[in-house]
Amino acid sequence: METNIPGNGPADASPMTGFAPAIEDYALIGDGRSAALVNVAGSIDWLCWPRFDSPACLASLLGTAEHGRWLLAPAATTNGANRVRRTYRPGTMILETEFDTENGRVAVIDFMPLESSFSSVVRIVESRSGAVDMRCELVLRFDYGALVPWVSRLPDGTGVRAIAGPDMVVLRTAVPLHGRDLTTIAEFRVESGQSVAFVLSYGPSHLPPPPVFDPHQALRASETIWTRWTERCTYRGPYAEAVQRSVLVLKTLIYAPTGAIVAAPTTSLPEQFGGGRNWDYRYCWLRDATCTLMALLDVGFREEAQAWRRWLQRSIAGSPDQTRIMYGIGGEHRLPEWEVPWLPGYQGARPVRIGNAAVDQFQLDMYGEVLDTLYRTRQSGLLADEPSWSIQRALVGHVVKVWNEPDEGIWEVRGGRRHFTHSKIMAWVAVDRAIRNAETFSRAAPIDEWCALRDRIHATVCAEGFNATRNSFVQSFGATALDASLLMIPLVGFLPPDDPRVRGTVAAIERDLTVDGLVIRYHDDAAPDGLPSGRGAFLICSFWLADNLILQGRIAEARALFEKLLALRNDVGLLAEGYDPRTCRLTGNFPQAYSHVGLIITALSLLP
């Protein structure tokens, strides 16, 4: 991509006013423990340390520059603008942002070193031509922008150290640093052939600073690790670039120490601009993670599947009635939700939420996703141990007791429980996959009892969840409203794609739940929690529609929709949770694992 951005010179480099740029203007870097978002102007506006779900020390994404950012970009140009191109190095999450100025061309290379004993962000300024004046501004604010740290020079003279409570961040560079207005600043020039490195590292404040390392060697090592990992991808179709970028995003969202998969590295990016649907996605939803696992497994990444399954068994160990819909990345059960009053929110969208109260919800569908994934991983040749089957039996035993109860559903409503049709279908999936697992792999199980339950759930859904007048399945039993989650009916095998009821449902969703060809979850008057979601598309639902079109043999239409969705990716191939057709902007937390999972699965489905 090439674009023009405002100059970042002394007159406007640190105005401490103005909100974050568009969501699609960000790129992602990460190291398997945390991640950072870098905007097209050269500013890192979001970084949580030491984990994905830790408090942010750079939080201007949800506020202004005074809440923490790290700007590294050319200083002012005569015409006040720079032309920018950016890309990831092939097969990696190493970002290169190239600035063209009237005095020369310079690149900023951003990455987080892999397989290190501590977490760092490395930024290397590399001259490509001419002589360019550069400016670095580091505004560190711990605890989501609330705490101004104590900053002091390192004894060895290599940089500065910032400390607040338990946290320490160290900035090292060969460029002279000075402080101004609670900001660490460097002003320097790079000429053709020169490069300047900056290394920002995290450590606990009671320990010595993280050790010095060679940033250029770390760049070479990280590039090798990334490319060797990417080479394992088995997809060989026409959308190889998009699939590869998506699997790299998914890999970046895996918390390497435990194998957990976060839904997104951000919190409170709004589903609707200016609205209140602002949630914290820095946790591991069983639903999202199981889908992520299968997408990775389907394109050749078995080690990640094994690590996630081990994480799952540890996290859900115990009484099945205490199984959560989501967990912390270490397997934590409690994720208390609170609001951050001092952050104004992304472009003013309040509130900013930390934690997620949905952790305490009852969502029946997650049993189906988990048991389906465990069955499919066993099918793929991953060995299962006896504790895994014991856990599965316990989960089915719990489904026997609760399948006929109302729940909060896939969209995590906060307005009271209902008998959601999708939830009942996924309860059927849970029992069905357990039966298949037992029969295929000769596991001890009460097969006759489970088969009777599977038939009973199926009959109930067909009787209570289908509206003959609309010729469609509906959002909840006895309702008339549609819901995009009903697109899952043929995808999970509840009914075949050529069943008239399925065709009627898909046709109704195409007619009534699409905006500019993209799928919304439901209409506002059918919002289960009363919170309007606007007319924004939920991208995973649009991928589900493409998958349905493929099953119906409508390949040309499916491909057209898929390529329309590909066009919504930003310039470096990333997708958020949603898209607003009115403003032509990405919405929701970013990048979103679920959206990239949908891309991979649909690309695979389009293979001949």
Tens-digit pLDDT profile for residues 228-269: 999 999 999 999 999 999 999 999 999 999 999 999 999 999
Closest among 213, 314, 207 to 257, alpha carbons compared: 314
pLDDT for residue 534: 54
pLDDT for residue 70: 98
* Cα–Cα separations (whole angstroms), residue 550 to 242, 553, 602, 603: 19, 5, 9, 11
Q: Do 287 and 140 belong to one domain?
A: no
Q: Do 260 and 361 belong to one domain?
A: yes
Task: Kindly indicate the confidence band of residue 414, based on its pLDDT and cuts at 50, 70 and 90.
Answer: confident
DSSP 267: B
pLDDT for residue 310: 85
Q: Do 120 and 205 belong to one domain?
A: yes
Mean pLDDT throughout 316-329? 87
* Positive/negative CA dihedral, 179, 201, 197, 132: negative
Q: Do 247 and 151 belong to one domain?
A: no
Give me the percent of the chain exceeding a pLDDT of 70.
94
Last residue of one domain, picked from the residues 202, 228, 254? 228
Task: Kindly indicate the confidence band of residue 372, based on its pLDDT and cuts at 50, 70 and 90.
Answer: very high
Q: Do 286 and 181 belong to one domain?
A: no
Q: First vs last Cα of the chain: how many Å apart?
A: 31
Last residue of one domain, picked from the residues 228, 246, 270? 228
DSSP 339: E
Q: Do 286 and 151 belong to one domain?
A: no
pLDDT tens sequence across 517-526:
999 999 876 5
Q: Do 170 and 27 belong to one domain?
A: yes
Mean pLDDT throughout 61-86? 85
Q: Do 460 and 564 belong to one domain?
A: yes
Q: Do 452 and 578 belong to one domain?
A: yes
Domain ranges, residue 535: 232-605
Give Cβ neighbours of residue 449 (< 8 Å, ≥ 6 apart).
400
Counting DSSP H helices and E strands in the chain, the numbers are 14, 29
**CATH for 438:** 1.50.10.10
Pairing of strands 56-58, 69-74: unpaired
Task: Kindly indicate the confidence band of residue 315, based on its pLDDT and cuts at 50, 70 and 90.
Answer: confident
* Positive/negative CA dihedral, 512, 518, 523, 526: positive
pLDDT for residue 535: 66
Q: Do 215 and 247 belong to one domain?
A: no
Closest among 576, 583, 577 to 516, alpha carbons compared: 583
For residue 525, the number of C-alpha atoms closer than 13 Å in the C-beta half-sphere is: 5
Q: By three-state DSSP, how is residue 384 classified?
A: coil
Q: Do 452 and 547 belong to one domain?
A: yes
DSSP 441: T
Give Cβ neighbours of residue 130 (< 8 Å, ≥ 6 apart).
101, 103, 104, 105, 191, 192
Tally of structural domains, the chain: 2
607 near 263, Cβ under 8 Å? Answer: no
In DSSP terms, which residues pair with 26 in a beta bridge?
A: 39
Q: Do 180 and 238 belong to one domain?
A: no
What is this structure's pTM? 0.94
* Cα–Cα separations (whole angstroms), residue 274 to 66, 345, 414, 531: 21, 9, 19, 13
Mean pLDDT throughout 281-299? 91
**CATH for 126:** 2.70.98.10
pLDDT for residue 14: 35
Task: Kindly indicate the confidence band of residue 320, based on its pLDDT and cuts at 50, 70 and 90.
Answer: confident
Q: Which residues of 557-584 are buried (b: 16+ CB within 10 A; e: fewer)?
A: bbbebbeebbebbbbbbbbbbbbbbeee
Last residue of one domain, picked from the residues 183, 211, 228? 228
Beta strands in 192-325 (DSSP E): 195-204, 254-255, 260-261, 284-285
Q: What is the C-alpha R_g of the chain?
A: 25
Closest among 217, 523, 550, 493 to 375, alpha carbons compared: 493
pLDDT, the chain, mean: 92
Give me the percent of the chain exceeding a pLDDT of 90.
81
